[in-house]
Structure 1
Amino acid sequence: MLSINMLIQYDNNPERVERIVYIDENRQFCFLINIYDNSFPISNDLHEVENSIIGGEAEILEKDPWTVIVFEKDISEKARQVQEKAWAVVSKLLKVGQKELLNPIERNSVIHRVSNEMGITKKTVVKYLKRYWKRGMYPFALLPDFYKRGGKGQEKQSSEKKRGRPRKVQEVVGSGVNIDEEMKKVFRLTANKYYQTKKNVSVRFAYEQMIKEFFREELEKAPEQLPTYYQFLYWIRKEQNLSHEIIRRTGKRNFDLNFRPVLGSSKNEVRSPGEKIQIDATVADVYLVSEFNREWIIGRPVLYFCKCVWSSMIVGFHIGLEGPNFEQARMALMNMVEDKVEYCKQFDIDINEKEWPAAFLPNSIVADRAELLSNASNLLTEKLNIRIENSGSWRGDLKSLIERQFGLFTNEVVKPMLPGAVDVDFGKRGTRDHRLSGKLTLTDFKKIIIRYILYFNNQYVMENFIRDEEMITEEVEPIPIKLWEWGMKNRAGRLRKISKDLMMLHMLPVGSATVSEAGIRFRNMLYSSELALKEQWFVKARFQNSWKVDIVYDPRNAGQIYIQNPDSKSYEVCHLLEHQYRYKNKTMDDINFLHESEKLQKRKHKQDQLKAKIDLKEEVEKIVKDAEKKSKSSGVKESSNKRIKDIKNHRKLEQELIRKKQNEIAKTESNDTGGSQSKVIPMSGPADNENYLLLKRMQKKGMEKRER
């Protein structure tokens, strides 16, 4: 299914590549722009585009030629200033709406206004807008082509700009006097002074106080000049913000607790699938064990879910051992844009795209304050153009979808089925320690989560889901996948695609690796790549010094790390060396646990080794002392010169004695095998001593003869 930001190539012509910049909600037409020429987007029938792809006249391009892979620290200050200036201009244009910008008449008007406001030419405004459309529709698309020139800049600071336009009301309301600006000021003063207070007075009381204070003379002389009560009431209801009034009258906490819409009302804020997602995290009620050693208990995992507000479909998840925090939450966001067919293959689960059709960027994200907002503003808002909404501690309604999901998963899967699950009696005296029952690894638990998501998305009937009239007429079942499919056909146009390389740059954590003669070393793991072998990195590192390279890595799988390619448009994949395959398909959490365990073992072994080494020294010293004692007590004393001359003969004599002993031992073993009674032959005895002395006397006589 086509979505916004997709690239389509026609007739296998590399110069005719068009990007979808807009799809109407009814999926009848779309706007496309050629990413190589200087034209504006043109309208086309969406079904014709789809038929062109089906008929083979066009194809969807997965590789975006305009993708820019560049680390923040590598952007020059000049390039940063150009990008920020261009984004300020484009931001003003986008405030009127994408649909309006595609209308030539409205677009020209907006361009003229923005050029005057920003003090730049219309030609420059048009250049920025076209560049934004052609290069991917995100802020980094506005980086100039010389972005890598010059020195390294500082981290870009987030800016805050007011959004939207001031509200307007009708100038004459009701049958009384004209409601001009002066009258509005009086209404506003009255509302602030009397109505929007915690005294909870009625609108009628506020109206009467207004007449008494501001219109006493008109009341006496010209009552027809008085604003009527219904005019004041109408203005209160239409002009004033109802939520603001309730907060002023009852307090913020009371409003959040009692006057928010009912649970699930956040669905009313969106009109199409994928437009807004909610993310939340919880500590799962189950204890896991290590991938490396199932005897190692690694504790309870943190489970992250991303869920489409409109359809309730789960669009992404992550399981880690840290958090809740943004570093882990963005792994769930990374999963949200991944191809789920390929992702599930990693866990030997085969699905088709229709079973989990979620690989997109939303327009906005609702998240818990402590979980995602602390570090996400610069990343999501400025780089990916995703609006962040804070649910707040008193806004449980905005997270209700996820919270109910956690409860459903725990009650239907975790507690009744999983070993190591935490039950209500956990910690009570006499009950079994649930931690000792853990049998599942992180990978096992991920497989269970995937199976659960597939079940929920495709089979779970949401009994409390309120269908609108169109859904009822078309008999749409309240199942997430059914709602998603229906919404894509009838209310689509909000999904955005993003290249995998670009998502990796913004979502995956950045690290530093060392190129050495042994490989590319990262966290005590060694990698290699085609580029490294081709350019002989490891040979250079051996004969020269090692050097650092910036990498990005996926904490969910240590099997690969990624290095920026020289063309800055893609990543070079680095794979683990063969002898490092114990880390293959392992998470960074598991590897960190392994490394810490090995450090602990090494510290323990050092103590044991020290004790054993001291014992060894004591035994050696004991043997040496015993040998020295025996040497002193031997009866035969010879000169040093003679002892040195006899080394060769003594060696031969010793060899003869050893062979004789070995032959006797072999003969004894042979007799034992034949069933004869075993005969123990001592390693040294009287016979051996006699033989030794005899050989010594014979040797001495022979040497005396040679001397004569």
Structure 2
Amino acid sequence: MKKHDLLKDGDNIIRVLEVKPDKILIIDCIKRTMPVWVESSALDSFSGCIDEVLNEVTNFKVTFIDALDADQRKAMYDRYTLIAPSLPFIADERMRSKVIGSTAIEHNISKQTIRIYLCLYLAYMNITVLASRKRLDDDAELTKDEKNIRWALNKFFYTTKKQSLMTAYTMMLKEKYCDGMSILRDTYPSFYQFRYFYRKTKKMQNFYISRDGLKNYQRNNRPLIGDGIQSFAPAIGVGMLDSTICDIYLINDAGNLVGRPILTACIDAYSGLCCGYVLSWAGGVYSLRGLMLNIIADKAAWCKQFGISINAEDWSCDKLPATLVTDMGSEYKSENFEQIVELGIKVINLPSYRPELKGMVEKFFDVIQATYKKHLKGKGVIEPDYQERGAHDYRKGACMTMTDFEKIIIHCIIYYNSQRIVENFPYTEAMIAANVKPYASCIWNWGKSQMGAYLIEVGTKELVLTLLPRTTGKFSRFGLKVNKMRYHCDGYTEQYLKGGEATVAYNPADVTSVWLLKNGIYAKFTIIESRFEGKDLTAVQSLQIAQRDIAKGANQDNLQAQINLARHIEAIAGSVRSSADVSVKNIQDSRKREQRKHHRNYMKGAKP
């Protein structure tokens, strides 16, 4: 059993989408419901099936793409575009649903419509099923041999398996021109006829999409007939964000191998200037927070920390771009990062697997890595034969620390910004008159003074507070409870007494303080439980869990102690003789007599 195989059991026909040792992902080709995982043993009664049987049962007529008119092809590719982002996540139900939801919002279409198209495509594994129902009646214009050739091309050639024409021809003869004993009949079309029909009907767009996929076509083959960056970013203020794993292994100060660092950068789409970067061991929202802080930092002061002196105009970016363009990475779609819109910034999420739409930042990574790699050969840099059989283990050549490598990255960025010639930049008459040099920094400095440039000035504290994760806090008599810890701030007595919920920003690295967010204003609350001061959230949660485990472990002993206590009390109470004639007179005299009777001189017998 292989991936994409058709299986049949009675009236049921299924297609295998993924195969694992103990379970298989299938789709019901008749009902066309969403794929499900089943145990391998559940398919023991199924036998192999061919596409023709499925087509006959479902009354589906295989259509050659070239036989579709323009409207049908447009509908087909539009529908494939809707389902393309979810195809890589077919086996992951959670991610698949998430991608379908985001696609539905982006294209203003219902999720059920996308599911229908997705199930239809998965059932037949043929893009033509997505075409509109109208069919062209031009089959009469083709001979029987031509219809068979067209069928073979669609079935065996125009697929992601990328089989050759000769293979498709051979498979056609096997399926259409052999008898029951697989003996070739006397009359059949020659390979030259087969090739002639292919060349006559070949469409390059269909060729690229069917064999390499729509994403690859959009990235590498589609006609580039737009106006370039001028149509997307006509002025300064559109920043493109992305991350990459650097092609070098680094060590720590003790000489131990750490791994490959992550470089995250923001590139201005108009000028190509690197607005900011962060080099870190951890990606995600953590690296984005560092990137945003680096963008608004004084770059001359930043470089000075590493012993590098630059002119302010070589890297004069200390404001955030008003528009940030990202891909569909989870860190960019997280609530933490999207909170940056509160500063007036617009965030654009591009479709998945479309790096060509943010080619400026992709080019930046290529240039930076190509710049330093040629000078660091043998020092942990990864070569093209990485992971090939018999290749050198580049980890053993690592000799640079993160600090050393960051100095190199800064020098590369300075070169990229202020010394690398920006080729083919669409100069305007105003730029030529101003004698703007073809460097990213010069274009940036000139662009900042032009109409349409949109940069947002924001303080460090405001930016950090905006990007902190948020949760819901609850007021009570005991203070503001956040993440199972109590916090206090003067002036909130009424809220403590009334109760209620509030939005709170917190720092996972230090739980000492949280910030209550109300009407865009942050109010600082300080932790009440001093034992948690200075600790990170993970450490606090570990302490809380450990405390609960200790208390839980003592539950049985506590119950046994309560049982023993009840037994002792009952035994003593049972041994006392009860009397109904208790005198209630002269209580004060009785109390004084009992005091004298039980009086003890504590100094008697005390050691000096």
* TM-score of the alignment, normalized to the shorter chain, above 0.5: no
**TM-score normalized by structure 2?**
0.42
- Select the structure with the greater relative contact order (CA < 8 A; seq sep ≥ 6): 1
Q: Highest CA radius of gyration, 1 or 2?
A: 1
**Of Structure 1 and Structure 2, which has the larger fraction of its residues in helix?**
1
